[in-house]
């Protein structure tokens, strides 16, 4: 009996030592891979200072109103790669990485929608991208552009919401608790390299995306910096929903198109999507058949067409002088 106890003790100690060694090795590997990525991954755009840290911005195309793309959580500018080329054929389109993601530098928490809106506005001003804008938001990014419109509606010409979050998700405490648990786990394990192996980052539909873009996003979104940003944004979700609920957007007659995934959702999700269409008196709600949550991956043509419709409506109804002519080149990427 005593010998069996000693054997179990030895096995326990051996397993504990193995776990510690594995985590130590994983931490070194994660640090090395993160440093290599941050040092060698070439940013497609440029860093714009927003008061103490830089945000990565990439633009292409020409023509006003400018189309501003806001990614979900977690997400980077690369999540829009399937649609930017199509949008650039008729308008200037800009995507960016929120603070801490991909090529953007980190910012002090809390990372709530209100803080993100302030940084986005400063980013656009410092990059000399004049309003009004057509704002496009996916998932959590939809919540951000709604709050932007609530606070600065005169800077918004129109909006496209892509399977967007609704402020009323605050009432769904169970889903927020699950998200918080996920975020805390990612943040705690980020330096060890475990999330690199286990968690679906980048999220979305890999089978429908360009392989080179998928590889690039996989690298920049699995740095320790990006993974910790996931945790800080998730930690601020409850406050983000409170902020959006306290300041509901009212677009008036500004055009709005709501795109909703068509594969799988609870009936309550579709009810909230229909409510979002009520943010404007001139809106259209469309269910994207055969598309999951990442509509821009599964049905990029639907997203491009929705943005085109909003841009054309803005241009056709614009009062003289409301949209300035742009001197941007008609092709190629710019910062």
Give pLDDT, residue 246: 95
- Both structure tokens of 66: 């400018």
pLDDT, residue 224, reads 81
Higher local confidence (pLDDT), 125 or 42? 125
pLDDT in tens, 295-306: 999 999 999 999
The pLDDT of residue 272 is above 70: yes
What is the model's pLDDT at position 329? 37
pLDDT at 188: 57
Q: What is the 3-state secondary structure (H, E, C) of the chain?
A: CHHHHHHHHHHHHHHHHHHHHHHHHHHHHHHHHHHHHHHHCCCCCEEEECCCCEEEEEEECCCCCEEEEECCCCCCHHHHHHHHHHHHCCCCEEEECCCCCCCCCCCCCCCCHHHHHHHHHHHHHHCCCCCCEEEEEECHHHHHHHHHHHHCHHHEEEEEEECCCCHHHHHCHHHHHHHHHHHHHHHHHHHHCHHHHHCCCCCCCHHHCCHHHHHHHHHHCCCHHHHHHHHHHHHCHHHHHHHHHHCCCCCECCCEEEEEECCCCCHHHHHHHHHHHHHECCEEEEEECCCCCCHHHHCHHHHHHHHHHHHHHHHHHCCCCCCCCCCCCCCCEEC
Predicted confidence (pLDDT) per residue in 251-270, tens digit: 999 999 999 999 877 788 89
Query: What pLDDT does residue 182 have?
Result: 66
> Residue 59 — φ and ψ, nearest 5°?
-130, 155
Least confident of 207-216, 224-233, 273-282, 287-296: 207-216
Mean pLDDT, residues 182-190 taken together: 63
pLDDT of res. 144: 98
Per-residue pLDDT at 316: 94
8 A C-beta contact, residue 298 and residue 262: no
Can you say whether the dihedral through the CA atoms of 275, 276, 280, 285 is positive or negative?
negative
| CA dist., res. 310 & res. 160, Å (int) | 8
Distance of alpha carbon 218 from alpha carbon 176, whole angstroms: 25
Report CA Rg, the chain: 22
Write the Ramachandran bin of 31: left for phi over 0, alpha for psi from -120 to 50, otherwise beta. alpha
pLDDT of res. 44 = 87
Q: What is the pTM of this model?
A: 0.86
pLDDT in tens, 106-135: 998 889 999 999 999 999 999 999 999 999
Residue 229's contacts (CB-CB under 8 Å, 6 or more residues apart) are 74, 98, 99, 100, 101, 106, 111
């Amino acid at each position: 009996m005593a010998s069996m106890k000693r054997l179990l003790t030895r096995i326990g100690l051996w397993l504990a030592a193995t776990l510690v060694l594995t985590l130590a090795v994983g931490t070194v590997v994660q640090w090395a891979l993160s440093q290599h990525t941050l040092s060698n991954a070439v940013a497609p755009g440029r860093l714009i200072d927003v008061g103490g840290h830089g945000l990565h911005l990439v633009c292409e195309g020409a023509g006003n109103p400018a189309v501003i793309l806001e990614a979900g959580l977690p997400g980077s500018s690369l999540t829009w790669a399937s649609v930017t080329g199509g949008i650039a054929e008729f308008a200037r389109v800009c995507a960016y990485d929120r603070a801490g993601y991909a090529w953007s530098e980190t910012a002090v928490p809390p990372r709530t929608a209100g803080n993100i809106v302030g940084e986005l506005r400063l980013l656009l001003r410092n990059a000399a991208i004049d309003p009004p804008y057509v704002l496009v938001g996916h998932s959590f990014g939809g919540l951000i552009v709604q709050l932007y419109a609530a606070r600065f509606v005169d800077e918004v010409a129109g909006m496209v919401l892509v399977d967007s979050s609704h402020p009323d998700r605050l009432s769904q405490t169970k889903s927020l608790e699950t998200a918080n648990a996920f975020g805390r786990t990612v943040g705690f394990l980020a330096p060890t390299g475990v999330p690199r192996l286990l968690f679906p980052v980048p999220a979305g539909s890999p089978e429908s995306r360009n392989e080179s873009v998928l590889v690039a996003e996989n690298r920049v979104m699995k740095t320790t910096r990006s993974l910790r940003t996931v945790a800080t944004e998730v930690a601020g979700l409850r406050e983000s929903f409170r902020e959006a609920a306290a300041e509901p957007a009212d677009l008036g007659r500004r055009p709005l198109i709501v795109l909703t995934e068509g594969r799988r959702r609870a009936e309550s999700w579709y009810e909230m999507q229909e409510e979002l269409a009520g943010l404007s008196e001139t809106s259209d709600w469309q269910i994207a058949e055969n598309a999951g949550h990442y509509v821009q991956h599964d049905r990029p043509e639907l997203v491009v067409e929705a943005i085109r419709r909003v841009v054309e409506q803005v241009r056709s109804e614009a009062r003289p002088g409301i949209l300035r002519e742009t001197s941007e080149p008609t092709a190629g990427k710019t910062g």
